[in-house]
Amino acid sequence: MKILICISNVPDTTTKIRFAENNTRFDSQGVQWIINPWDELALTRALELKEASGGAIEKVSVISVGPQSAEPTIRKALAIGADDAIRVNYEPTDAYGVAFQIAEAVKGQGYDMIIAGIESSDYNGAAIGGMLAEFLGVPSVSSVSAINVEDGNIVLKREIDGGSEIIGTQLPFVAVIQKGVALEPRIPSMRGIMMARKKPLNVVEPVAVDTMTEFVSYKLPPAKAACKMVDPENVKELINLLHTEAKVI
């Protein structure tokens, strides 16, 4: 079995977001880039499955659509433990374009399980996994919170209103995962970082695709109110503030 993880290169979650060109473009200057947290969990789970599979899962690959500047993030995925990587040399414009490029790059490559994070922490579009499955003509399962392989069968758990459901699926398929699929993302080890130097990172040229959407302008949410410190002894004041100022109780 071969697993593919779609990874997105996103600004660190603590980044101070700024816009340029009259609020029509994200200003990436000075930004630290990371693997989208959901994708990192997907990669962690895929590696756990591979390690427990006794060789049945032969390979975990990652794919990312982005310019060369995304390569440190891709190499981090290799350092964490992915066996190889594909970068589609394409500046992401919208979910449709990204999903289309991934589909074109992996068609016929024999991936049995393709995992995408439920959304990326920058644009939060939550669209790529489903679109990708559609382009590839394979089933997709959304909001997956656990992935297991039992006797060669795929067992997925989905959170639904009031409980959860267990789903089996044929191969190949796309799983769109949310938190819970792995406890914590893996920290790359020194050995992993060293081995990442030698792992293949194949760059694929993009295919022509229409851009379906356009960003007209960006706006920051209103600033968070300042934090108010309350003496731990003074519970009365805390309750009073929650009631009268924050109006949450």
Partner 1 sequence: MNFDFTEEQIMIRDAARDFAQRELLDDVIERDTKAEFPTKHVQTMSELGFMGMMVDPKYDGGGMDTVSYVLAMEEISKIDSSVSVIMSVNNSLICYTIEKFGTEEQKEKYLKPLARGDKIGAFLLSEPESGSDATMQRIIAEDKGDYYLVNGIKNWITSANSGSIYILFAQTHPEKKHRGINALIVEKDTPGISLGPHEDKMGMRSSDTHSVMFTDVKIPKENRLSEDGFGFKIAMKALEAGRLGIAAQALGIAAGALERAIQYSKERKAFGTEIANHQAIAFKIADMAVKVENAKNLCLKAAWLKDNKKPFALASSMAKLYAADIAMEVTTEAVQIHGGYGYVKEYHVERLMREAKLTQIYEGTSEIQKIVISRTLLRD
Residues that bind partner 1 (CB under 8 A): 72, 75-76, 79, 184, 187-191, 193-194, 197, 227, 229
Q: Give whichever of 190 and 249 is closer to partner 1, judged by the CB atom.
A: 190
- Closest approach, Cβ 156 to partner 1, in A, equals 27
Distance separating alpha carbons of residues 86 and 63, to the nearest angstrom = 5
Is 85 in contact with 77 (CB distance < 8 Å)? yes
Q: Give whichever of 12 and 134 is closer to partner 1, judged by the CB atom.
A: 12
- Closest approach, Cβ 48 to partner 1, in A, equals 15
Distance separating alpha carbons of residues 21 and 28, to the nearest angstrom = 12
Tell me phi and psi for residue 34, to 5 degrees: -135, 170
Q: Which 3 state secondary structure label does DSSP give 207?
A: coil
- Closest approach, Cβ 44 to partner 1, in A, equals 13
The tokens describing 216, both together, are 């007209």
Q: For 119-142, b where at least 16 C-beta lie within 10 A, e where not — what string?
A: bbbbeebbbbbbbbbebbebebbb
Enter the DSSP assignment of 174: E
Q: Give whichever of 79 and 181 is closer to partner 1, judged by the CB atom.
A: 79
Task: Kindly give, in sequence order, each residue whose CB lies less than 8 Å from that of residue 14, ignoring residues fewer than 6 positions away.
Answer: none
- Closest approach, Cβ 14 to partner 1, in A, equals 12
Q: Give whichever of 197 and 236 is closer to partner 1, judged by the CB atom.
A: 197
Q: Give whichever of 191 and 219 is closer to partner 1, judged by the CB atom.
A: 191
- Closest approach, Cβ 61 to partner 1, in A, equals 20
